[in-house]
Structure 1
């Protein structure tokens, strides 16, 4: 039987987070207010991203991926940080956030000014060659794809964009995919696909940040993630095993609901802007701000 934690009032969670420095873990729900849909929100349709094994299965799969992703990137690159992204950057600048672990690939945390960021799944703005491992920019590839496929965007202007920059489109026949400019090899966005492993140095950096949290003074703050994917959930599980308080701000069920957490049914933007613009003493009704 699945246990659902009793909702924690927003005011109670704000007071708890305000009193402690934290490590943040963010998911797709952080970017919905920037116009990027999430995968598992309460009203989100079922979506299955392309897996790594499918992508490397041959030119047909790569054509399907890049034809759709070319459309998605046209819109995704225009997304801008929302107030929640900016609030986290302000909390970092104030010394209240120690590390930001994000499962998102949109780069909006960095665009908002966050500096201590571990992009767990990479960034959609980067491209890597699977043969020679040369790295290049997505903007440069976007220009090449546009030149090779004139009018593609105009013919498919009404497609729905997904959180990873993919879109809903079945017919991709005729789309031309270039090879690596250096060696002619297969190009892939430098992000972790389903079926791939997160690079070990990133995982170790995140574990180290969680392990450094003091159960009596710090906490882990999860924002806009259902934690369905193990790459993020493992840090929550690690924190709870070590007795570190965990606050999850998310609309809808999460994989952590059976763990000992404080669950807040609220939007991340509203929660974070209140947290960043209210002095800790105001939220707690007195006392001083936590030591930095």
Structure 2
């Protein structure tokens, strides 16, 4: 009988972070942000908070339940973890591919079309910025719709893998979605994962070309973002007059480094997020607000004549 995965080890998601008591944060309103950004171009750095209004929950907002995202070491080092991951992902990715951009995504696309946004650096893997019409997008942590072989490097679509997983596990989704549940009823995390308890009998699919281990083309916790991608993101920050951060607590260095880089260069930084972020002391202006309504208002204001 296949072994069940061991309890997930502590990860970045479980680490807590609070603002130092002596931190100086410059809070403001959407009107203050519009005044600061008027006449400037900006690059947007987005996180899971921009997609919550599309139905994809985040990891770190004040109301989010505790989650234990799988680490890279767990995935590559333990077959039981991989089985557990693919079983849950097989449910979760179907929810993510059915989500649609919200007004926050569309606002950034409209600002790019108007020549105000230079591009979007997103920590999300949901492709909602592209779906909304943004053209210059750096998917910092990868994208949910592709899968790569760790041995031969071949890349296939997640849809192709779904067909193979359905064939290997013909009754799995029927069992999971029993009792009238739909995919959207199951708790789904930002990386297209989902909470599924019974995974010990799930059969993962090996690479169809070499038999190697397949992994989502997503940067896991504990994994390094490709250097080329990071350099392109730095260049995108440098290409604009300001940096706007939307929907991320900046808890991990993956996104925080761009805020630090902009602040060091003297580039104005506007942070839009419910609750504190690790970058607040570096921000020119901090808005404790939702991303959808704030970005929609900014787009209407900055594109008006």
Q: TM-score, normalized by length of structure 1?
A: 0.91
Report if the CA contact (8 A) 1:27-1:102 is conserved.
yes
Judge which range, 144-153 or 218-227, deviates more.
144-153
**How many Å apart are 1:153 and its aligned residue?**
2.1
Report if the CA contact (8 A) 1:249-1:263 is conserved.
yes
Judge which range, 5-14 or 72-81, deviates more.
5-14
State yes or no: 1:89 paired with 2:109: yes
Task: Give 1:187's aligned residue.
Answer: 214
Question: Deviations 1:139-180 (Å, cap 9, x if unpaired)?
Answer: 111121122212322322353111111122333111011111
State yes or no: 1:75 paired with 2:95: yes
State yes or no: 1:208 paired with 2:228: no
- Find 1:235's aligned residue among 255, 258, 271: 258
Report if the CA contact (8 A) 2:49-2:61 is conserved.
yes
- Find 1:176's aligned residue among 187, 203, 210: 203
After the TM superposition, which segments of 4 or more aligned residues of structure 1 sit over 6 Å from their partners?
none
Question: How many pairs were matched up?
Answer: 278
Task: Give 1:162's aligned residue.
Answer: 189
**How many Å apart are 1:18 and its aligned residue?**
3.1
Task: Give 1:54's aligned residue.
Answer: 74
d(CA) in 2 for partners of 1:171, 1:264: 42
Report if the CA contact (8 A) 1:126-1:136 is conserved.
yes
Task: Give 2:275's aligned residue.
Answer: 252
**How many Å apart are 1:225 and its aligned residue?**
0.6
Measured on the aligned residues, the alpha-carbon RMSD in Å equals: 1.5
Report if the CA contact (8 A) 1:71-1:153 is conserved.
yes
Task: Give 1:290's aligned residue.
Answer: none
d(CA) in 2 for partners of 1:257, 1:241: 14
Secondary structure of the structure 1 residue equivalent to 2:59 = coil
d(CA) in 1 for partners of 2:212, 2:125: 23
Structure 2: runs of 5+ lacking an equivalent: 1-19, 178-184
Secondary structure of the structure 2 residue equivalent to 1:255 = coil
Question: Deviations 1:49-77 (Å, cap 9, x if unpaired)?
Answer: 10000000132111011001111012111
Task: Give 1:147's aligned residue.
Answer: 167
Task: Give 2:292's aligned residue.
Answer: 269
d(CA) in 1 for partners of 2:144, 2:38: 32
Report if the CA contact (8 A) 1:92-1:98 is conserved.
yes
**How many Å apart are 1:16 and its aligned residue?**
1.7
- Find 1:100's aligned residue among 120, 145, 150: 120
Structure 1: runs of 5+ lacking an equivalent: 283-292
**How many Å apart are 1:188 and its aligned residue?**
0.4
- Find 2:51's aligned residue among 19, 31, 38: 31
